[in-house]
Chains A and B, each alone.
Chain A
Amino acid sequence: EAAVTQSPRNKVAVTGGKVTLSCNQTNNHNNMYWYRQDTGHGLRLIHYSYGAGSTEKGDIPDGYKASRPSQENFSLILELATPSQTSVYFCASGGQNQAPLFGEGTRLSVL
């Protein structure tokens, strides 16, 4: 069964700390995405990847890095977390011509 698994599901971080959000997909999809969802903004694309070793900037990449070490895994890294990065983060994977499948989301609070 197609699946996108995010970890952790909830995270509390301190300002200035490093945060890594992980995403694993078992769908053999080439494309993977990281979005954040905030009230009033909908979902916004942070980074995406077309395959292992590739990462591309989305619409709001500032303050975030991404890593795609393998087909299955795509991480989002906040090197110096700030309170403005408090949000719900969604990972998704998708094929060339199909709508992405989304994970369950990670709720991040930066204090």
Chain B
Amino acid sequence: GQQVQQSPASLVLQEGENAELQCNFSSTATQLQWFYQSPGGSLVSLLSNPSGTKHTGRLTSTTVTKERRSSLHISSSQTTDSGTYLCAIDRNMGYKLTFGTGTSLLVDP
């Protein structure tokens, strides 16, 4: 079955609203990574957060390892935040990542 599940599949916000993206995984993860993919573009690493809470800019990730879940909070969304947010885990040491199918975010002006 799906090892990494993300929800919601898609999300539409008005600029300035906050977003909460969820990632649940079925295996123990030694690494957990959030990526951003622009429409038709490549992937950019946002945060590495295998456990606890991490912040960068308007992004906050909280990972509860025992419950095998992670969230990504985007505050004060901007139109440029539109794209797909991908969660990925690695079950072993190293970065052989297993990806979720992503959350597609659209921020309207």
Interface size on B, residues (CB 8 A): 20
A103 to B43, CA, bound (A): 8
Say which residue of B4, B45, B96, B98 sits within 8 Å of A99 (CB atoms): B45
Please provide the chain A residues from 97 to 111 with a CB less than 8 Å away from any CB of chain B in the complex: 98-105
Smallest distance from the beta carbon of B87 to chain A beta carbons, Å? 9
B94→A96 contact, CB < 8 A: yes
A42→B95 contact, CB < 8 A: no
Given contacts A99-B45, A99-B48, A102-B43, contact A58 B99 (CB under 8 A): no
B42→A45 contact, CB < 8 A: no
Interface residues on A, range: 20 to 34
B43→A45 contact, CB < 8 A: no
Main secondary structure of the interface of A (DSSP, over half): strand
Given contacts A99-B48, A102-B43, A104-B41, contact A44 B99 (CB under 8 A): yes
Smallest distance from the beta carbon of A8 to chain B beta carbons, Å? 15
Residues on A with C-beta less than 8 A from B95 are 31, 33, 94, 98-100
Q: Chain A 86-99 against B: per-residue CB contact (8 Å), 1 yes, 0 no?
A: 00001010101011
A103 to B44, CA, bound (A): 10
A104 to B99, CA, bound (A): 17
A31→B94 contact, CB < 8 A: yes
Smallest distance from the beta carbon of B55 to chain A beta carbons, Å? 17
Chain A interface residues (CB < 8 Å from chain B): 31, 33, 35, 40-45, 48, 58-59, 90, 92, 94, 96, 98-105
Chain B interface residues (CB < 8 Å from chain A): 4, 31, 33, 41-45, 48, 86, 88, 94-102
